[in-house]
């Protein structure tokens, strides 16, 4: 059976789009690699809300509204489905419960969300160092919080995770923050937007007050940050107000923002451009989330970072246009239903320029020291990439031939932006001129066993 619509990702964008599309009479299948619907923000919300909702906050428990909507919609949701190829037409290959399967759909919505921006600093590959999002996943899914962890980086998510750790009774030992007073002054240019997006600002101030009450030491404007240790993390060292500091710890959470996860979009040949404000590549889309590849839409953080509420509205907008294209909705009704959603999108976007300017990525992690590993899978250092540039390497695809960067299991997800930045700087070219890895299937690792156990086309693993 060929569906009207296949959605990759069951976060706020995917869940809202699926529910809206089903209401308009489309046959919809949602695939997500997670065992339950929710995406990043609402990960495991149906299970964890009961025991840990009070720690994770109302913004988290609110996600149950969307998971319930998805259940009620009758949409087919294949959980635990890792999508690794999307072919024209569209045929989607995924693995689920140890075997390969495929489904077909007339249209596709990519709602694959964001990834944490890689933060290559000296020592970031030591055991005990992980992204702050990974630390938060432990809390959401298993109720586990690292004792005495040190948070390093910047951004609203860092404060959220710190506040959640405080509520769990295991506050971070310290926060080593990279944003400077100058960043905040530059952000004041966008204070009008920040005031229009006041709920975000109010939440931010509340989280900072929680962190302060818990007496978590904060070191802002930190530079020269490194993780020390022999075989595992032992301490974080950094410079603060001109003095060298060292904080002993076994767990370090790194975070300096999130970037769109563009792997699936790139594998379909969708055009992308560099967004200097967000410091990332974003796909070329119209106001409905329609890409330059016919039949493929993108909604949520994968289209540009905007947060969970914006992702939800964008998912619904895309679903309206998809329904119109499928002949299930008149142009007039599509535009009418879209009007309040567009207003909501504008409201949700208001605070973004302020946040982007106030919490820029940590400069030294965008241009790491020569000895720092940038491609973790293949152990390629920043110095290696600079050396390739001297030998004439102009773009990330060539680095694969020079030294296998981007060819490991993550397929460049965690080094792509750093490699582009290093080559752009070394060659004096813009990120757009430098480009990004050419992404090909498999998007995610797939075993021979899973391929050998592949069902016939359109006989999915859930059946």
Binding footprint of ligand FAD on the chain (CB under 6 A): 8-14, 31-34, 39-41, 59, 81-83, 111-116, 133, 136, 157, 160, 258, 264, 300-302, 307-308, 311, 443-444
Nearer to ligand FAD, 40 or 420 (CB): 40
Question: What are the two backbone dihedrals, phi and then psi, of residue 341, each rounded to the nearest 5 degrees?
Answer: -65, -40
Shortest CB 256 distance to ligand FAD, Å: 12
Question: What are the two backbone dihedrals, phi and then psi, of residue 150, each rounded to the nearest 5 degrees?
Answer: -110, 130
Nearer to ligand FAD, 14 or 229 (CB): 14
Nearer to ligand FAD, 279 or 307 (CB): 307
Shortest CB 195 distance to ligand FAD, Å: 20
Taking the CB of residue 339, how many other CB atoms lie within 10 A of it? 9
Shortest CB 44 distance to ligand FAD, Å: 11
Nearer to ligand FAD, 12 or 172 (CB): 12
Nearer to ligand FAD, 14 or 120 (CB): 14
Please name the residues in contact with 58: beta carbons below 8 A apart, sequence gap of 6 or more. Answer: none
Nearer to ligand FAD, 26 or 303 (CB): 303
Nearer to ligand FAD, 69 or 307 (CB): 307
Shortest CB 129 distance to ligand FAD, Å: 15
| Cα distance between residue 120 and residue 374, in whole Å | 6
| Cα distance between residue 420 and residue 430, in whole Å | 9
Cα–Cα separations (whole angstroms), residue 31 to 41, 108, 226: 17, 11, 39
Within 13 A of 207's CA, how many CA atoms are on the CB side?
22
Shortest CB 384 distance to ligand FAD, Å: 27
């Amino acid at each position: 059976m060929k569906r009207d619509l296949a959605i990759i990702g069951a976060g706020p964008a995917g869940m809202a789009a699926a529910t809206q599309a089903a209401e308009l009479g489309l046959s919809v299948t949602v695939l997500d690699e997670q065992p339950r619907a929710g995406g990043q923000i609402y990960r495991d919300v149906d299970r964890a809300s009961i025991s840990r909702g009070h720690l994770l906050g109302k913004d988290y428990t609110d996600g149950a509204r969307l998971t319930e909507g998805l259940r009620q919609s009758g949409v087919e949701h294949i959980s635990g489905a890792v999508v690794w190829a999307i072919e024209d037409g569209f045929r989607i290959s995924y693995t689920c419960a140890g075997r390969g399967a495929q489904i077909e759909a007339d249209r596709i919505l990519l709602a694959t969300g964001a990834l944490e921006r890689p933060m290559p600093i000296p020592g970031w590959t030591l055991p005990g160092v992980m992204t702050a999002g990974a630390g938060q996943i432990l809390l959401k899914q298993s109720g586990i919080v690292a004792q005495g962890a040190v948070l390093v980086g910047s951004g609203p998510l860092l404060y959220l995770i710190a506040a959640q750790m405080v509520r769990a009774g295991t506050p971070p030992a310290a926060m080593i923050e990279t944003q400077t007073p100058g960043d905040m002054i530059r952000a004041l240019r966008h204070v009008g937007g920040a005031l229009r997006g006041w709920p975000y600002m109010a939440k931010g101030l509340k989280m900072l007050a929680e962190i302060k009450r818990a007496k978590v030491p904060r070191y802002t404007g930190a530079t020269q940050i490194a993780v020390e240790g022999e075989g595992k993390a032992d301490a974080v060292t950094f410079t603060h107000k001109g003095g060298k500091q060292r904080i002993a710890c076994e767990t370090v959470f790194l975070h300096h923002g999130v970037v769109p996860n563009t792997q699936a979009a790139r594998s379909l040949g969708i055009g992308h451009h560099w967004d200097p404000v967000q410091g990332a590549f974003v796909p070329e889309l119209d106001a409905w989330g329609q890409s330059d590849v016919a039949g493929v839409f993108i909604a949520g953080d994968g289209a540009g970072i905007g947060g969970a509420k914006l992702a939800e509205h964008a998912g619904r907008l895309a679903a309206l246009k998809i329904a119109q294209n499928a002949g299930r909705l008149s142009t007039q009704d599509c535009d009418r239903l879209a009007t309040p959603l567009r207003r909501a999108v504008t409201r949700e976007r208001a605070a973004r320029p302020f946040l982007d300017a106030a919490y820029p990525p940590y400069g030294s992690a965008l241009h790491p020291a020569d000895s720092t590993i940038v491609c973790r899978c293949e152990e390629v250092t920043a110095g290696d990439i600079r050396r390739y540039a001297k030998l004439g390497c102009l773009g990330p695809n060539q680095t694969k031939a020079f030294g296998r960067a981007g060819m490991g299991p993550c397929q460049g997800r965690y080094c792509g932006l750093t490699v582009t930045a290093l080559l752009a700087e070394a060659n004096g070219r813009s990120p757009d001129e430098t480009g990004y890895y050419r992404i090909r299937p498999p998007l995610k690792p797939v075993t021979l066993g899973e391929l050998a156990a592949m069902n016939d086309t359109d006989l999915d693993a859930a059946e």
